[in-house]
Structure formats: C-alpha cells, structure tokens
Amino acid sequence: MLKYYQSISSRRYLINIFACAHNTDTLKTNTYAQSKWDVTDMSWEDYVNNPLWPILEETVHSIVVFRHHKAYVRDVVLVEQPNLRAKDLALKLNISLGESLVILYELQKSKTGS
C-alpha cells in the first residue's frame, strides 16, 4: 500500500514539474496578484505543443482512476458546466491540474474528431 502512495506522489510531482517548466518558458510581468508561478489561466491549448506534453499524457494515463475521472467529467461535469476551466475542474474533483488538462484535451479532441 505504501508503494502505491509513493507512486501517486511521484506522478503528481512530475505533473507539477511540467506546469512549472512551462511557466518559466513563458514568463509574465510580475504584479502583486500574479507571479511567474501563477497557473490559474492554464488551458490545454497552451501546452499541447510543449515538448513535455507527451510525458504529461503518459503520466496521467498511468493513474488508475483516470478513465473514471474522464467519464465522470464527460457525462456529468461538462453537461452542467460546459465552459469549465482546467483549474476549476482540478479543484472540483480534487485531482491534479495536469490530469484536468489532459481530460479536457482528450474530451475536446474526441468531440471535434467525431
């Protein structure tokens, strides 16, 4: 059981590294309310072309409950709130921001693909 929690912890660490690495590439003007580590405006469109995106996707797909989270978002959450941002989804489901980015990306990709 301890090994499972260590595995989950290391995945979340990788996802946070991805978010921080992207923000250091696209530095914004520092203000009182906004710092270079501010990830509140994250959208999957900003990250798909990042070279670390495939690593994030692979990491998120290795989360055991990812398929269930994705189905719940598709069937329940987006029906109620179709314009939900990644940060709000992460807070609502208590999942990582990286997982919410990948979920929204895959759902949008399947929506436009069909």
pLDDT computed for residue 39 by the predictor: 55
pLDDT computed for residue 8 by the predictor: 59
pLDDT computed for residue 46 by the predictor: 79
**Residue 47 · residue 22 · CB < 8 Å:** yes
Total domains, the chain = 1
What is the rounded distance in angstroms from the CA atom of residue 114 to the CA atom of residue 105?
A: 14
Banded model confidence at residue 31, pLDDT cuts 50, 70, 90 = very low
Task: Answer yes or no: is pLDDT of 22 > 50.
Answer: yes
Per-residue pLDDT averaged across 17-22, rounded? 58
Residue 102 sits in which domain range?
A: 2-113
What is the rounded distance in angstroms from the CA atom of residue 80 to the CA atom of residue 19?
A: 27
Mean pLDDT, the chain, rounded, equals: 78
pLDDT computed for residue 35 by the predictor: 47
Contacts of 84 (CB under 8 A, 6+ apart): 77, 78, 92, 104
pLDDT computed for residue 91 by the predictor: 95
Its pTM surpasses 0.75: no
Tens-place pLDDT, residues 36-83: 455 556 677 778 888 999 999 999 999 999 999 999 999 999 999 999
